[in-house]
């Protein structure tokens, strides 16, 4: 009997750790959920070889290993993403996953709140710059200076060079952070509704009498 009890106890322990690990993984996936907050209609990737392929790299953290979805540069090794969000973002970290070869981007430059950036615009000083390591499995997280990226409605990511290949290839870009709705518009609507409500009630009170008369 004793041996069985021990085995049972051990089983519980494993199960518990497994659940924790799964929860940790789910939590980590949720942290990388900013891709859901991208305005995909207006998302741009400049110098992509296949039109629309730049959008494919923004997906769920759990799906980062899907190597069928990638973007490759066209004329040279540069890629530039213009990423408008559907609200305001506090950007905390970025993951960039490529091949374990020369096509992996070697440098990443971040710009905030400059919509429709062009390669000419990208010559200016970025808000933050990173030297990248090859990351074929999407494990390296590049932390942003949060104070600088606390109110981002548009993010541009410029990859000026890679590790020596003619073109750059990216499988996945993860964006970690918090999203809040852009409030300005809604506040106006709320105020308007609040002001309109008393009038609604008056109408309701009048209506039965009108019916009564007619």
pLDDT in tens, 135-170: 999 999 999 999 999 999 999 999 999 999 999 999
Global pTM value: 0.76
Please tell me the number of Cα atoms within 13 Å of 25 on its side-chain side. Answer: 8
Mean pLDDT of the chain: 84
Question: Residue 30 pLDDT more than 50?
Answer: yes
Q: How far apart are CA 182 and CA 28, in angstroms?
A: 25
Torsion sign across C-alpha atoms 166, 172, 177, 178:
positive
pLDDT for the residue numbered 7: 44
Res 31: pLDDT: 85
Residues 20-29: pLDDT tens digits? 566 667 777 7
Cα–Cα distance, 151 to 11 (Å, whole number): 47
Paired sense of beta strands 107-112 and 152-159, if any: antiparallel
Which H helix or E strand runs over 44? strand 44-46
Q: Which domains does the chain have, with CATH numbers?
A: 27-181 (2.60.120.470)
Residue 103 has pLDDT above 50, yes or no: yes
Which CA distances in Å does 149 have to 105, 118, 205?
22, 20, 52
CB of 167 closer than 8 Å to CB of 72: yes
DSSP string, 175-186: EEEEEEE--HHH
């Amino acid at each position: 009997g004793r041996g069985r009890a021990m085995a049972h106890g051990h089983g519980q322990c494993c199960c518990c750790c497994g659940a924790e690990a799964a929860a940790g993984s789910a939590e980590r996936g949720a942290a990388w959920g900013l891709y859901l907050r991208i305005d995909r209609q207006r998302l741009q990737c400049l110098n992509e070889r296949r039109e629309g392929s730049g959008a494919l790299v923004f997906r769920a953290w759990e799906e980062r290993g899907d190597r069928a979805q990638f973007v490759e540069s066209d004329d040279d090794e540069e890629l530039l993403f213009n990423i408008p969000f559907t609200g305001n973002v506090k950007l905390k970290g970025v993951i960039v996953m490529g091949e374990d070869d020369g096509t992996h981007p070697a440098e990443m430059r971040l710009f905030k709140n400059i919509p429709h950036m062009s390669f000419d615009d990208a010559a200016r000083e970025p808000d933050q710059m990173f030297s990248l390591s090859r990351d074929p499995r999407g494990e390296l997280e590049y932390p942003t200076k949060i104070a600088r990226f606390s109110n981002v409605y548009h993010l541009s990511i410029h990859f000026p060079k890679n590790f020596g290949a003619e073109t750059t290839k990216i499988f996945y870009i993860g964006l970690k952070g918090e999203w809040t709705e852009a409030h300005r518009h809604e506040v106006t609507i709320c105020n308007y509704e609040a002001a309109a409500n008393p009038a609604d009630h008056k109408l309701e009170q009048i209506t039965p009498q009108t019916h009564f008369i007619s």
